[in-house]
Structures are given as structure tokens and as C-alpha cells.
Chains A and B, each alone.
Chain A
């Protein structure tokens, strides 16, 4: 039965080329718009190598310090001092790591040339939070980190620029008057991974005399997503305990927030939890509107096609089709056009996202790196599932009423028309 439906749907498309092309391209454009929105959201939130634990990672980017007299409020990245006092003892997280982004100049010894680079200061835990693929060498170790050894991991393109094809392992570059020895080379990281991204990673112990001197983003890896609330609770408890004990200022951490929460938060520097439900609602509302408009347009064509086929539907009923079979067939045939449009739309959305990626994914500081979108963000089961689901909904919205009408046609009258 399905084979016959498919064959016939194809035949109909061939006969009614203009309508077919209009319907398919209308569907394709609708799916393109929707998939650009969905892809953007997916790429921002789903795991992308090396940020493979995005779904169970939380971040504290800022603290809010208020003097007891409430005379002034300071909002700063998390200072090493506050981290040590408030956060380093947290029990719930699996891992804690500090990182700080910078842009600076490096040079190779005996060469007066400078290179501007993105640098990330971090600790040895950092390498456990992400999955980097090392081309050569390995990350700096816990011992390297604690001894404040001036060592560095660099990305491949940087290695290429510095050493022109020679193995960079063990070679050194000059940064802040210190010779940093290269211990590892990793593949270039897309700036999409805005937390893991850098061109050079060095232990912050080699830059700051004391950890207390730095200001950081705190990255927290939870055992699983369900621990998020407990981690938040623990941070709040720590705030209260410390307030009672020592501090002259009231300290509040803005966060910890999940990746989704950070996206929703957007510069709002209070420690309230962002309203994920509201933002999800807004997201789905946009999708609904993007779906509804083409659906209404397409249903016109769908109805037109059905009216053209009134007689055929009567004939089918005369030879044994019941209402349900007619309904199924019309929906099924329309699904074929929807899916064809869907596949074209999906390809177009890949193209669009690639074309405007720099606008879609901006990261805070103007990094020197590139936005490269891994192919796995495009070709994933969830993306295909979304396209299929959206085609199905679009199909039901646009041909549901025409199909229902067709199934209710009066048989004898339909044949005559």
C-alpha cells in the first residue's frame, strides 16, 4: 500500500510540476528558517568536542560584593581569594577548575617578531574537564602546575606559525619575560567552544605569583545534571557561612549557572536564577510562528490539489477506500512533499549557518581563532529527528484540513465532479 502511495505521489508531482515545485520550495524555505534557529541553539548548548561535558558543567563568571553599609557594589570575576575561601571546599562537584582568558604577544627567542595570541591561564584540572585531542605531547601535569613551571600547550596552527613544520615539543617561546616550554600540541579549537577555546594554554601559577592575585571564571563539573541544584545550594550555604565568620563585605556569586542559564542570562548581573522556562517558551513560540505562517500558505496549495482530485477520491471510495484510508493517503502523499522540502531545507540551513556563522556565534572578546562548525553538529540523530518532526507538524498543519475534507466528501457527488 505504501509503495503504491509513494509511486502515486511521485506521479502527481510530475504531473503538477508547478504546484509541486512551489510546495516543495515553500516547505524548504520554511524548514531552512526553522532549522537555522534550531541549529544555532543546538550548537550553543550541545556537546562539541572538546567541550564534551557541556550538559553537566556549570560556570561562575562573576561575584557581586556589597559593603556592609551598602555604600558600594562591586561586580568582578571571581578572585583567587574568594575562590579559595568560598568554593575550593565544595563537596558536590566532581571537578573544579579556574580559567582566565587573555590576549597578548609572544615571541620566539632570537627573533624580534611578535605574535598576537589568545591565551588561557588555567590549572591541571582543566584538561579533565574537556577532551582535547593531542597531536603531540601531553597536557601540563599537576606537578608542573603546582611548581609554577612555565610550560604551555599550544594549538596546531600556532605551532605551525612559530616553528614552521619542526616539532614544537620541548621548544620555548617568550611570554611575560619567561621562557615557556611547550609540552603539548592540540588540534585547533573552534571558537564555538568558548570555554575551552584558546591558542595557548598555560598554568596560571607561572603567571601569577600567588593565586590570590588573579581573577577567574570558575568551571564546575557536576557528576550529573541532577547535582546542579545541590551545587547551587552548597554555594549559597558557603556564602552565608563566610558572611557570619569573617567577611566585611556581603559576597554573592553570580551563579553557578549551567550553559543554558548563561545563554539566557545575557549580562544581567544579579544572582537570581535565569528563567529557563520563559526562555524555552519564547523559543518554542518563535518556532511555532515560523511554522504556522508557511503552514497556512501551504494549506492553500494542499487544498487546491485536493479539489483537483475530488473525482479521484470519489472513485477510490467507490472501490473500497474508507474515510480513514483517504485521510491517511492524503497525509502520506503530502508528507512526501514535506520531507522532500525538509531535506532540501536542511541542506539550505547548513549552508546558511555556515555562511553567517560569525554573526550567529559571537564570543565575548574578539578572538583570533575561527568559528568552525564540526560536521557532527549538522549530522546528528537529534537534528534529523527535529527535521522529521517539523515536517510532520508542518504536514499536519498544512494538509490536515484538506485531508479531512477529502475524507468527508460525498462519494457519488465527488465522482461526478
Chain B
């Protein structure tokens, strides 16, 4: 059974002057444990798609099912809980919180998880170990390089052990060596069972993933 299923999804942005159709009639299903690359030119709706899958945005039409559940029925609190437990986001420009140190940034998802009884700090150290940054826990985001920042972001994305990881051009701001390190990390996570949806411009990277979905002007073309 597919873990993510989009049915006839349409997303339209309306500003005063123009209407932009960011996604048009998208049907996509992604299986558990898959590593899917999403490719396409800038502005074709890749980020919009990821936002919709991660419930950061809602479609104007169509449905999104996660693990068989229709997400359009969720209220604010339930959607927040879903984001907290089921997905982990990785962004192109890292989006760490500048006023928090590495340790607190990584712990962020656990902060919004009620009474899980886990040792948050120990867990954060564990995932930082995994991304190779346990020696930078007390640093603030401005004191980190791009590659380090993205590794912290990955640690944050996986600390809550989500089933789905959504990565929007995770290597877009990194040089190719650092980029490859990040991709390796993602492959590790995929091998451990995470379902990964990744937007990328890099054909070489995309070719290594199990499947590629190509978009053009809001439509899936392949």
C-alpha cells in the first residue's frame, strides 16, 4: 500500500493581479520505503507539492491520503501533530532557528511532542552523532558552515523518527562535496526504512534514487 497518495490535486495562488496555477491535476502515489526524486524547472510547483504533502499548505482541489487517511479532515491541532510525528522537513536554506543553539534546534520537534517520556537531550546527542556533529552542540547556527547547518537540519528532521522525510533541494546551497555527504546521509536513512521525497536539480543525484517524477508547469510529465 502506498504511504502517500495524491488524487487530482490542484493548487492555485491568487494575488490581486494574477492567478498562478502551481499544481494542476496531480496524481501521485509513493510507496513506503521509496526514495523519490522530483525534478523540473524552477517555478514548476515542486516546492508546492512538497508543502502539500507535508501539510504546510492545503490544495484547492483534490485529496491527499497519508497511510490511507484523508488529510483534508484534519484540524489545526491534528495537522500539527501529523507534521510533528510523521514528517521531517529538510529545506534548501536549512532554516535553523538563529536564536537556538544546535542542541535546541535539533530538539525542536520533541518540544512539541507531549509526554513522550524520552530523554530529549540524549536523543538529540544520538542523532547529532549520526550526522557527525556531536562536537558542535553548543554552537549557534551562524557559527556553522553550510554543510554543517544542513546536517543539523537533518538531525532535526529525524529526531522524531518520522516515516516520511521531505527534502526540498537539500544540496542546493552546498558545494558538490558537501552535497554528496548529505545525499549519503539520506541514502542511509532510506536504507533504514524512511520514505524520502526529495526535490533536486541534479540529474546525477536523481539517477541514484529509485524513482524520478518530472514536473513541468504544475503538471507531472513523467
Contact = CB atoms under 8 A, between A and B. Distances in A.
By CB atoms of chain A within 10 A, which of B84, B85, B111 has the most?
A: B111
B104 A317 contact: no
A315 B76 CA distance: 15
Interface stretch (B50-58, B124-132, B194-202, B209-217): B50-58
B80 A322 contact: yes
A281 interface: no
Interface string A7-38: 11001100100000000000000000000000
B63 interface: no
Interface string B95-111: 10111100010011101
Contacts of B104: 4, 7-8
B83 A320 contact: yes
Contacts of B109: 319-320
B95 A320 contact: no
B57 A319 contact: no
B81 interface: yes
A311 interface: yes
Interface residues of B, number: 28
19 contacts: A4-B104, A8-B99, A8-B104, A11-B99, A311-B95, A312-B97, A315-B108, A316-B108, A316-B112, A317-B56, A318-B56, A318-B89, A319-B89, A319-B109, A320-B80, A321-B80, A322-B112, A323-B77, A412-B57
A319 B156 contact: yes
Given A317-B80, A319-B156, A324-B77, A412 B97 contact: no
B61 interface: no
A8 B76 CA distance: 25
A369 to B, nearest CB: 55
Given A7-B104, A8-B99, A312-B97, A319 B56 contact: no
Interface of A: 1, 4, 7-8, 11-12, 15, 311-312, 314-325, 410-412, 415
B113 interface: yes
Contacts, number: 72
A313 to B, nearest CB: 10
A49 B160 CA distance: 61
Closest 8 CB pairs of A and B: A320-B84, A320-B112, A322-B80, A412-B56, A411-B56, A412-B57, A412-B51, A319-B109
A319 B112 contact: yes
Contact of A320 (B81, B97, B98): B81
Given A4-B104, A320-B113, A15 B99 contact: yes
B91 interface: yes
Contact of B95 (A11, A15, A321, A415): A415
Contacts of A4: 104, 107, 111
Contacts of B112: 316, 319-322, 325
A410 B81 CA distance: 16
Contact of B76 (A311, A316, A319, A322): A322
Given A318-B54, A319-B84, A323-B76, 17 more contacts: A1-B111, A8-B99, A11-B100, A312-B98, A312-B99, A314-B56, A315-B108, A316-B97, A318-B83, A318-B89, A319-B109, A320-B112, A321-B112, A322-B77, A325-B112, A412-B56, A412-B57
